[in-house]
Structure 1
């Protein structure tokens, strides 16, 4: 159930390779060894309408929301968050050279009793 959703301001188009960022974040999540490959999703949602801080047109953001099922230790979650944040920070480094960018990440645990799933990717990847 690890789903990493990236919301980003539309003014990053042409300044950030969002597809490459998605690929890098997928790789980072898988490298933790904590999540089954068939469950991992990384998606990017462009925010066309936004107001940031003092409303300068140059202001931009990337907000990462990582939803995971329960069962990982606090240390595992912290290590995962640090890895995701470091990977995103590295790719987005040029944006930090200006005083107009904000990056955030939050990890949320999902209550299994209130989460429904149907996934036919798992059997294919598991070979059954």
Structure 2
């Protein structure tokens, strides 16, 4: 562990390179350091996997909306500041990766970090909610 799993709507397949996103996120995980400068995540245990959803429904279904859900699962024992820093770095990468898609379509993105004690980070970036909050 850690394992980062991405589940996404298949309408994103033609618009972005999910393999490139997986590599970027793995590299970001491996670059994380704790307060003493030691790696936060072990190289051999770091895995990023992406799966398109076979079936999906997003929002009201009136348009071809997209969604990506990212869940990082890690063992307990890291400081809260370390988990937040890692989450912020990963979310920044995800936002940068999907920025071209945001300019063409409505997409929701959720990144959650869980450890054996439960959810520790819940970062979101979406332009779907404002569409319906009129």
Counterpart of 1:52 in structure 2 is 58
Unaligned runs of 5+ in 1: 112-128
Structure with a larger share of its residues in helix = 1
| 2:105 is the alignment partner of 1:106 | no
| Structure having greater relative contact order (Cα 8 Å, sep ≥ 6) | 1
Counterpart of 2:25 in structure 1 is 25
Counterpart of 2:127 in structure 1 is none
Q: TM-score, normalised by structure 1?
A: 0.82
Q: CA deviation at 1:64?
A: 0.4
Count of aligned residue pairs for this structure pair: 111
Q: Secondary structure at the match of 1:28?
A: helix
Q: CA deviation at 1:97?
A: 2.0
Q: Which has the larger radius of gyration?
A: 1
Distance 2:68 2:18 in 1: 10
Q: TM-score, normalised by structure 2?
A: 0.79
Unaligned runs of 5+ in 2: 33-38, 118-134
- RMSD (Å), alpha carbons: 1.2
Matches for 1:1-128 after TM superposition, within 5 Å:
1-32=1-32, 33-98=39-104, 100-110=106-116
